[in-house]
Amino acid sequence: MVVAHFGDAIYPGLRHLGSVHRGGDKPSHVLINGENHHVLEALQFSHAGKVDCIYIDPPYNSGARDWKYGNDYVDGDDAYRHSKWLAYMERRLQLARRLLDPAGSALIVTIDEKEYLRLGLLLSQVFPDATQQMVSSVINPAGTGRKNEFSRTNEYIYVLQIGGLVLQPMAAASDDAVPVEWEPFRRRDLSSVRPTRPRQFYPIYVDLQSNQVVDAGAPLPHDQDRGEAPQCPGCATVFPVREDGTEMNWALTREEFLRRLAKGYARVGRHQPGGQQEYVISYLRTGPISDIEEGRAIVTSRRADGSVVARYPSGKARMPLTQWALPSHDAQRYGTTLLQLLVPGRRFPFPKALYAVEDVLRIIVGSRPEALVLDFFGGSGTTTHAVVRLNRQDGGRRQSIVVTNNEVSEKEAASLTKAGLCRGDPKWESLGIFEHITRPRITAAVTGTTPAGNPVKGGRGPPVVATGRSW
């Protein structure tokens, strides 16, 4: 046993826990199970001055006993909870500062009203030369009900620009901006009737409850009746059929359709009960997709099914606003609900909205395809998911390093202790954040497969296609 006083440097080693290979020769995304203060110390050896962006979502210090100081949970009755929180954060921010590239990098910190004032002062103290700004972002449009208080809808995002970092502008989508045009996915020309394109006549399965695409089946042989196609429980089986019964083809092969679906470039349109084709399927052609991915068209939001809402701006690009109210930043829909699609039945309090993290990272590292992004309050793994999506969109080679511990909640710890278990027991460890949430969520996002081995559902196929491997 080695004893050290708090404040003495401790340099732990890293033990490999496994990997998921999906990205060929692209850089690996790294997930570390460890106490973040110790990990930040260890990273001083390998990454000092090399990190382009740090994104963290630290404990909000709400008094809900959801973080520890000195191995004890801090609650609302602790007279020193604010000073403990500041001490806890300062030690980690000091280490983080030495990891950031002094020539050009950024620190992003999300927080709510309980500590935003103290955090702002602390950030000014630790990063005196940085340009410090704050964004107010709506994350719960319906509001969080609180007794005798305003219902909270928003949180705050501190953005610190270090050195010569240049923020990426966002094009203005004004009132006279032109929407990006969606096209029917069923081919219309009579030269494209079945079976002229054998790989483009296949079933698309639309969930009858959510009206979202669940999957697409294999192409049918030209002599097979479409009524004999495999069925998907709870879904409508949609083929490209005109109202006069003429069987057509889809515009793309199944593989390309699923790729566009995963990126939000395909969606379900009008419902036509009793029609030859029960649902209209729509998609974006290659031209509009190129306009979006090269910045000529702007994604202003996403629909509930994840499909993009994009417009051609009539004005010039402008810097991001300090007030965000984007539907895609809804933490319930794109945080909690999305997490349930990836790791069904597993709970995590207040996961970040995937697109909210993706958008703020795009502003910082959108022009840096080789950027290194660090998150040492890893939580459910949203940061890695967002970095992988950015890479998928522009072919980047960005790398994420996400750090989390394997703590269980206070309630779970009490229950496990009562059952005669303790830390280190397999049952105890299996319910920790790292083992129960973060690693399986990232694995599901990378592979499109849930921990139970089932395909990830939710209308867009696998939520992400990997550009690296997660450890």
Beta bridge partners of 302: 308
Tell me the residue ranges of DSSP E strands in 340-398: 372-375
Q: Which residues contact 152 (CB under 8 A, 6 or more apart)?
A: 112, 113, 140, 143, 144, 146
Q: What is the pLDDT of residues 185-244, one digit of tens each?
A: 999 888 889 989 889 999 999 999 989 999 999 999 989 999 999 999 999 999 999 999
- Note the Cα 66 to chain centre separation in Å: 22
For 388, list phi and psi in degrees, rounded to 5. -60, -40
**Which two three-digit tokens encode residue 316?**
């010039």
The answer to whether the beta carbons of residues 107 and 374 sit under 8 Å apart is no
| Token pair 């806890």 in the structure block, residue | 88
Residue 100, pLDDT above cutoff 60: yes
DSSP H helical ranges for 127-249: none
**Short-list 187, 233, 181, CA closest to 206:** 233
Dist CA 431 CA 302 (whole Å) = 33
Domain with CATH 3.40.50.150 in the chain: 30-169+319-447
∠ CA 411-413-417, nearest 5°, is: 120
Find residue 279's DSSP bridge partners.
271
Q: Residue 328 pLDDT more than 60?
A: yes
Does pLDDT of 441 surpass 70? Answer: yes
Min mean pLDDT across 349-358, 392-401, 433-442 is at 392-401
Alpha-carbon radius of gyration of the chain: 24
**Angle, helices 81-99/36-47, rounded to nearest 10 degrees:** 20
With bands split at pLDDT 50, 70 and 90, how would you rate the model's confidence at 10? low
Token pair 């809402």: residue: 309
Picking from 148, 146, 119, the residue whose alpha carbon sits closest to that of residue 132 is: 119
CA distance 34 to 405: 5
pLDDT at 312 over 70: yes
Confidence of residue 265 (pLDDT cuts 50, 70, 90): very high
- For the cut 80, the answer to whether the pLDDT of residue 300 exceeds it is no
Strand order in the sheet with 30-33: 30-33, 399-404, 372-375, 53-56, 104-111, 154-163, 131-138, 323-324
* Structure-token pair, residue 129: 């030369």
Is the predicted pLDDT of residue 146 greater than 80, yes or no? no
DSSP letter assigned to residue 464: -
Q: Position of tokens 């984007």?
A: 326
State the Cα–Cα distance between residues 255 and 275, nearest whole angstrom. 26
Q: Is the per-residue pLDDT at 32 higher than 90?
A: yes
Residue type present at position 453? G
| Residue 52 · residue 365 · CB < 8 Å | yes
pLDDT level of residue 175 (50, 70, 90 thresholds)? low
Taking each continuous run of H as one helix and of E as one strand, the counts in the chain are 13, 21
310 close to 180: Cβ distance less than 8 angstroms: yes
Percent composition of the chain: helix, strand, coil (DSSP 3-state, to 5) = 30, 25, 45
Peptide bond into 327 cis (omega under 30): no
Task: Specify whether the CB–CB gap between 380 and 405 falls below 8 A.
Answer: no
Q: Which residues 6+ apart lie within 8 Å of 402 measured at CB? A: 29, 30, 31, 32, 374, 375, 376, 378, 381, 383, 384, 438, 442
Backbone angles phi, psi at 451, to 5 degrees: -55, -25
Chain center to CA of 272: 33
First to last CA, the chain: 28
Instruction: Tell me the whole-structure pTM to 2 decimals.
Output: 0.69
Bridge-based pairing state of the strands 30-33 and 399-404: parallel
- Higher pLDDT pick, 104 / 327: 104
Q: Percent of the chain at pLDDT above 70?
A: 91
CATH number given to 30-169+319-447: 3.40.50.150
* pLDDT of amino acid 461: 34
Judged by DSSP in three states, 43 sits in helix
35 alpha carbon, distance to own chain's centre: 23
Characterise 7 by phi-psi region: left (phi > 0), alpha (psi -120 to 50), beta (else): left
pLDDT in tens, 350-363: 899 998 999 899 99
d(Cα 408, Cα 429) in Å, to the nearest integer? Answer: 8
pLDDT digits (tens, 9 = 90+) for 451-462: 999 888 754 333
pLDDT in tens, 38-58: 999 999 999 999 999 999 999
The rounded distance, in Å, linking the Cα atoms of 109 and 134 is 9
What is the predicted pLDDT for the residue at 283?
96
